[in-house]
Every structure is written in C-alpha cells, then in structure tokens.
Chain A
Amino acid sequence: MKSVNRQQFEYCLHFDPLQDNGSIVRRIDRATGEDDRVRVNIDDHDFKHRIQQEFPSVIADIIDLAVAIHASDRLTIQDPQQPQIQLKVVLPVRHPEILNKSTLNQQLCRLLYWATGKQWVFEFERRRQPGRSIENQLLLCSSDPDVDEVSLWSGGLDALAGLYGRLKNSPAKSFALFGSGSNDNTRKRQQDVFYSLQYLFPNRLDLCRIPIRFDQSSHLEKSPSRARGIVFMLLGSAYSYLRGLRVLHVYENGIGAINLPYRKSAVGLDHARSVHPETLLGVGLLMTELIGENFTVHNPFLFHTKAEMMKSLAEDARIDLASQTSSCDSPHRKSQQPPQCGYCSSCILRKQALAASYLEDKTHYIVPHGNPPVKDTRLYFESMLAQVASLRERLKPSDQEVDQWWALSQRFPELNDIVDRTHTEENITLPEMRHQLIRLFQAYVSEWDLVEPSLSEQFVRKDGPNDVVTHESQLSILKGLLCR
C-alpha cells in the first residue's frame, strides 16, 4: 500500500523570520508550478501583559508556530474527494532543538492532520535575526494584576454564557480573556461584550487581542480554516503562560464541541474539530512538550448543552448581553440585512438554546427578519432535526446504560475515542464519562422536543410544500437502520 511519500510535497511554505512588520511567506505549489509570496502580520504588543521579566523565547516560538500554521492552512486547499495534500513548512525559530524533537514534531503533525485532513511536515531552522520588539522589552516588575483564569474570547454566545456563569459563581476570581480579533467586526463585538461585562463585574476582567492579518487576501482559501481552533488555542496558551498559569480555558457547549455529524453524508472534516475534546487534549500535550511543564486546555462545559450553559444568564434575564454576541458561521455584510443569517447550524443552535432557556431572542436574523436568500434555508434545520431523531432513537430509555452507549457509539464511533482518550484529563472514570455524555445528549434531545414546533415556524416556505420534514418522519428511516 502506498504510504505518504515525504519527498513529494504539493506545497512548500517557506517563512521568513516573523518580525514586527510581519513575515514573507513563499508558497510553492508543485502541482501548478506557482511560486508566490504573501505577507502575514501579527500584532503581539498585547503580550506585554505578563509576569516574566524577560519574554520567554519558547513562547515567542509558539507565537511564530501559530502564525505559520494559520498562514499555511489558509494558503493551501484540501479537496476531501482527493488524496490529502502534503505540505512542508519551513520556519525559523529560536529553539529548533526543541521543535525538531521527533516526539514533538510527530505530535504536531498528528494534531494538524486530525484537525485539517492535510499531511503536514515541519522543518525548523535556527533563527538568526533578533526577536520582535515585544521580546526585547525587559519588565522591571509586572504591573498587571494576577489572574485566576485565562479563557478564549470569541465574542460568541458560549464564551459569554460560560464566562458570565463563572464570574457569578466565583466572586473572588479574576479572568483574562484572549481573542484573536483579526476581523474588524469580530474585534468590535469582542470589545463591546467585554465592556458590558466589565461594567457589571469591575476590576475582574482583562482583555488581550493578538490579530493575525494578511496583506492581500487573493491567495487565501475561501472555505473556513480547519486549523483555526488550534491557532487560537496555541496563542491563548501562550498568553496563559505569560500570565503565570498552566491551564487555558475554552467555554464551549458539549454538543458544539463534539460536533457529531448530522447525517451519514457528513464525513470527517465536514464538521470542524476546532474545539473537540481530542483537539484540546492535543494542544495541551503539545504545549507540555514545548514548555517542559504540564499544561492543559480545559473546557468546563463539555457536559453542558448550550441552553444549560446559559443558566446564569437566564436566571438574571441578561438577554441584553446575549443579544450583543454573534454566533453566525457566515455573517452577511449587506447594509439592509441583519448580519446573522439565522439558518446556519450555529444560528439555529443559538435560537434553540435561547428558546430552551425561556429567553426572548432579540437577535435580528435574516431568517425570519430579513429577506431570505433564494437558496433553501431549511437545509441545516432539517439536518439538525435528522441528528436529533437519530439520537432520540438510540437513547431510548433502557435499564442498561451499556446498551444505550453501544447504540450511540455504533452510530457515532468517535464517541468511544473521546471517552477512551480524554476521561483521564476530565478526571473521571470511563463509565462516568459515558454516563455524562448520555445525559448530555438526552438533555439536548429533550430541549429540542420543547422548542422544535416554534422554531419550525421560522422555516415554513411560502412557495412550495410547507412542512419541514420532522423527526417523526425521519424515524421511519432510522427504524429500518436499527433493525439490521
């Protein structure tokens, strides 16, 4: 059988040392013969907030690595119908002796293969140039207050709900938030929600943003970057380290984090693994290897549905805060239209969670508030209902949890891997973790039972058959499948 031939790389990406004015990436596409150059920039001056007197050089390498992964992923295209592309990344670093260690290098390539479906190879050269200005600033003493927790800050509803709950339930804790803020709209939203929270919880919050930008976007792959989660987590982990912590927190509901396929036509990376438990584990292990100390990336909401995450917001009726956030996967930019589409899976889960939390959804969406596009806007809604029907059928009440788990993991075998590989990190036994996941999916199905009729109304078509294919009709397929 043909193994990956490490000599035949479709893409080679050579990075110049990352300086204050960015880095030139030379991209060579072996298939087309194209050889072009793109500039990528990072603004890391927010990393001045740290406890170390000298900027740790290994952290500077982690920042460079994150930028290189981001740029390489955006500059190369993977067609899922074709053999996976192979790309070689050449990056100058301060510690090639650490980054070229075979265990670390293999860990990095495996993690990126898992998240992007591409075969990555790294070659780390010794960096000869002096570091960026942030590395040359010596701190006499840190003026930044200690923080108890560093978490990723996307400006989304999960990040808000998770943080709000933790601020409320741990009144003595302070939090430092990390966002990339590469997109101007996202950056503004992150800031607005942060200010609203800062007003409610004074002196307990801090915000750091490290945007990565390209000088020109014409070379960039249009579809969403599957490496984005890893890039974001590497930079967040670097920030956590600079703030003296060895844990990075990610607030993401379990349904979104695990992100099971809706139907069997969704295969592999059709659903992103950005905040999947195995991705968090992988980034934690990578950080541990890089810094030589135990480091973890933890999602405290893995066993919570989105609606459950919103419990504290719902108790305080903070719909005003929720309305400031955005969940949409493909925000619209037309001035006459609401920015959030209302029909992608992220918008639908947002609507589902708000409805299940009995919070009035004040968000304006294209569906149902704007002019819907010509294409069928029910696609994601129907697919999500298909998944709910599938979960419901497999989670039928049983005296034996082991039977429920078998039925669930037979349809979604990735669940076994999640439990086997991450239960230690979650500090629970295998049966406990299976139990928690069964409960999570049961809760999710129950929430849908509650809100499906009202959400269905938003997806009624005016120009054809009006009925959405409900879970009852989808059960007919499933019953047949389960009989076999």
Chain B
Amino acid sequence: MPDGDRVHSHLRGFYKKPYKMLCEGVARPEECARIVLDVLRSDLKQIAKVPFLLARNISDLLSQKIGPLEFSNDFAAAGISRQIDELIRQVDGPSREKELISRASKTVLNDLRHGREMDASNVQLAIFNRYIRDKYDAEFKERIPLSNDHHHGVSHSELMRRLEALEPYLDLGFHKFAQTAIKDQNLDNLRLPRQFRREINLDEDLLAC
C-alpha cells in the first residue's frame, strides 16, 4: 500500500513462552490464560502508565457529555472524537500505546453513539478494559504468525481453537486488571482473578488445552 506497511510477524520475547505452551497443548486453558495474563501484566506495568492516565482524562471528557449530550448527535460525537485526538496528541508517551488507547476510547464512543448498552457510570473501566484487550490482541493474539509452520507442529486452526478456549478466562483477567488499576489509581498491584491465584494441583489432568 502507499509508502509501505509494517507487518509484525514475530512475538516479542516474553510472549514466546505462552505461545509455546499453547502450541504444546499440555496445559489446561485456565493455566495457559494465567501465563498469558502474567506476561501481559508485566507488559502493562512497564508501558501502560500513559494509556491509563489518558483513559481517566478521556473518561472525564465522555462522562461530562453523557448527561447533557445526545451521543447519537453525529456532529457532537465528531467533536468529542476530535477532543480525544487533541488530548492524546498533547501527551508525551509511546506512539503505539497512544494509538491503542485512542482506538479503545473511540470504540467506547462508537458504542455510545450507536446506543449500545454500556455502564455509563464507569466509562474509565470500559476504556481501560478495551485498551487491555487491544493490547493483548496487538501483542499476542494477532501477532501469532498466520502460517501453518508453528512450534511443535501444531496446525494454525488447532492453535486458534486453543486460543479461543482461553477467552472466558482472559475476559475475567482483563476486567480484574482494569478494576484494580482504577481502584488503586496506578498499575503497581495488578492482580489476577481469585481463581487463577490458587496453586496448580500436580495431580490434576493437565492434558487437553
């Protein structure tokens, strides 16, 4: 496409462990999910400070408008989108994270605009939760090579099936991360959901991820 595109085809270092684990297919989905969430937690702690603060500022902006403003008013929604861009532009931070929080905010705005059901009392949670989901997709799920040449000889479709099995656990994890960050107003103590924290019972059947 014009002026070339960058396509990411390799997982970054610390995301290789959950990938290999998934390919090997020995661990249960919740165990795989825990490893993915552990890695994501470290990544977020390192890099998500700016997106977290932006989520708060953008949520303040959206919350102010929820009462007086009709989001289905296209003109008003377009204005808010511009304000989001401006808030993000004025802040110093990694370009990639700024883009991810921009996307997350704009999908929340899109929901409000289309009258989709949303807990309007906690817009910050919705934005940061979506940022974490997008971060996971961008760094892991949609970085996994599309070829059939995967670790341990697993086929792409089988790998995708295993990834899908993680989703309910990941959803819980993303929500818990977002909730903890907002409660603490920082990313220092992101916690896994309670069911992930228990020790693994070595007698359990770990087959079939």
Residues of A within 8 A of B1 (CB): 256, 259, 271-272, 329, 345-346, 349
The reply to whether A346 and B7 contact each other, CB–CB distance below 8 Å, is no
Which of A263, A269, A330 has the most C-beta atoms of chain B within 10 angstroms of its own C-beta?
Answer: A263
Q: State whether the Cβ of A476 lies closer than 8 Å to any Cβ in chain B.
A: yes
The reply to whether B77 and A420 contact each other, CB–CB distance below 8 Å, is yes
Determine the distance from Cα of A9 to Cα of B5 in the docked complex, in whole angstroms: 28
Out of A1, A83, A477, which one reaches B53, CB within 8 Å?
Answer: A1
Contact A265 to B91, CB < 8 A, known contacts A256-B2, A271-B1, A275-B2: no
Q: State whether the Cβ of B39 lies closer than 8 Å to any Cβ in chain A.
A: no
The reply to whether B81 and A416 contact each other, CB–CB distance below 8 Å, is yes
Q: State whether the Cβ of A52 lies closer than 8 Å to any Cβ in chain B.
A: no
Q: State whether the Cβ of B152 lies closer than 8 Å to any Cβ in chain A.
A: no
Out of A1, A113, A410, which one reaches B107, CB within 8 Å?
Answer: A410
Min CB distance A259 to B, Å, is: 5
Out of B3, B90, B93, which one reaches A224, CB within 8 Å?
Answer: B3
Contact A264 to B96, CB < 8 A, known contacts A345-B1, A413-B106: no
Residues of B within 8 A of A464 (CB): 149
Closest A residue to B86 by CB, please name it. Answer: A110
Of B23-31, B161-169, B186-194, B198-206, the one with at least 4 CB within 8 A of chain A: B161-169
Min CB distance A245 to B, Å, is: 23
One digit per residue, 1 when the CB lies within 8 angstroms of any chain A CB and 0 when it does not, for chain B 72-105 equals 0010011001000000011111111011100100
Closest B residue to A477 by CB, please name it. Answer: B160
Residues of B within 8 A of A229 (CB): 2-3
Q: State whether the Cβ of B171 lies closer than 8 Å to any Cβ in chain A.
A: yes
The reply to whether A78 and B91 contact each other, CB–CB distance below 8 Å, is no
Closest B residue to A226 by CB, please name it. Answer: B3
Contact A476 to B2, CB < 8 A, known contacts A378-B147, A413-B110: no
Closest A residue to B153 by CB, please name it. Answer: A465
Q: State whether the Cβ of A421 lies closer than 8 Å to any Cβ in chain B.
A: yes
Closest B residue to A225 by CB, please name it. Answer: B3
The reply to whether A83 and B94 contact each other, CB–CB distance below 8 Å, is yes
Q: State whether the Cβ of B151 lies closer than 8 Å to any Cβ in chain A.
A: no
Residues of A within 8 A of B110 (CB): 406, 409-410, 413, 416
Q: Which range contains the number of B residues in contact with the other chain?
A: 35 or more
Q: State whether the Cβ of B70 lies closer than 8 Å to any Cβ in chain A.
A: no
The reply to whether B146 and A469 contact each other, CB–CB distance below 8 Å, is yes
Residues of B within 8 A of A380 (CB): 5, 7
Contact A465 to B147, CB < 8 A, known contacts A117-B95, A345-B1, A346-B2: yes
Of B61-69, B117-125, B135-143, B176-184, the one with at least 4 CB within 8 A of chain A: B135-143
One digit per residue, 1 when the CB lies within 8 angstroms of any chain B CB and 0 when it does not, for chain A 403-430 equals 0001001100110110011000000001
Q: State whether the Cβ of B197 lies closer than 8 Å to any Cβ in chain A.
A: no
Min CB distance A70 to B, Å, is: 13
Residues of B within 8 A of A345 (CB): 1, 4-5, 7
Which of A256, A259, A477, A480 has the most C-beta atoms of chain B within 10 angstroms of its own C-beta?
Answer: A477
The reply to whether A81 and B94 contact each other, CB–CB distance below 8 Å, is yes
Contact A476 to B164, CB < 8 A, known contacts A421-B78, A465-B149: yes
One digit per residue, 1 when the CB lies within 8 angstroms of any chain A CB and 0 when it does not, for chain B 1-39 equals 111111111000000000000000000000000000000
One digit per residue, 1 when the CB lies within 8 angstroms of any chain B CB and 0 when it does not, for chain A 230-260 equals 0000000000000000000000100011010
The reply to whether B5 and A262 contact each other, CB–CB distance below 8 Å, is yes
The reply to whether A82 and B3 contact each other, CB–CB distance below 8 Å, is no
Determine the distance from Cα of A2 to Cα of B4 in the docked complex, in whole angstroms: 32
Min CB distance A406 to B, Å, is: 5
Residues of B within 8 A of A81 (CB): 94, 96
Q: State whether the Cβ of B148 lies closer than 8 Å to any Cβ in chain A.
A: yes
Within residues 1 to 60 of chain A, which ones have a CB less than 8 A from any CB in chain B? 1-5
Within residues 467 to 484 of chain A, which ones have a CB less than 8 A from any CB in chain B? 467, 469, 473-474, 476-477, 480, 484
Contact A473 to B160, CB < 8 A, known contacts A4-B91, A80-B95: yes
The reply to whether A383 and B103 contact each other, CB–CB distance below 8 Å, is no
The reply to whether B81 and A2 contact each other, CB–CB distance below 8 Å, is no
Residues of B within 8 A of A476 (CB): 157, 160-161, 164
Min CB distance A159 to B, Å, is: 11
Determine the distance from Cα of A369 to Cα of B77 in the docked complex, in whole angstroms: 50
Residues of B within 8 A of A330 (CB): 4
Out of B3, B50, B81, B171, which one reaches A272, CB within 8 Å?
Answer: B3
Q: State whether the Cβ of B114 lies closer than 8 Å to any Cβ in chain A.
A: yes
The reply to whether A267 and B99 contact each other, CB–CB distance below 8 Å, is yes
The reply to whether A430 and B160 contact each other, CB–CB distance below 8 Å, is no
Determine the distance from Cα of A84 to Cα of B90 in the docked complex, in whole angstroms: 11
One digit per residue, 1 when the CB lies within 8 angstroms of any chain B CB and 0 when it does not, for chain A 76-96 equals 001011111000000000000
Residues of A within 8 A of B94 (CB): 80-83
Min CB distance B65 to A, Å, is: 15
Contact A469 to B147, CB < 8 A, known contacts A274-B2, A345-B5, A477-B164: yes
Q: State whether the Cβ of A316 lies closer than 8 Å to any Cβ in chain B.
A: no
10 nearest interchain CB pairs? A268-B99, A420-B78, A413-B106, A272-B3, A382-B146, A329-B4, A465-B148, A264-B137, A264-B142, A270-B6
A-B residue pairs in contact (CB < 8 Å), sample of 23: A1-B91, A84-B92, A113-B89, A223-B4, A259-B5, A264-B134, A264-B137, A265-B143, A267-B99, A267-B138, A329-B1, A329-B4, A329-B5, A346-B2, A380-B7, A386-B142, A402-B114, A406-B114, A414-B106, A417-B78, A469-B146, A473-B160, A476-B161
| Further contacts, 8 of them, CB under 8 A, given A5-B92, A81-B94, A480-B164 | A83-B92, A256-B1, A271-B5, A272-B4, A382-B146, A386-B142, A476-B161, A476-B164
Binding site for B on A (CB under 8 A): 1-5, 78, 80-84, 110, 113, 117, 223-226, 228-229, 252, 256-257, 259, 262-272, 274-275, 329-330, 344-346, 349, 376, 378-380, 382-383, 385-386, 402, 406, 409-410, 413-414, 416-417, 420-421, 430, 464-465, 467, 469, 473-474, 476-477, 480, 484
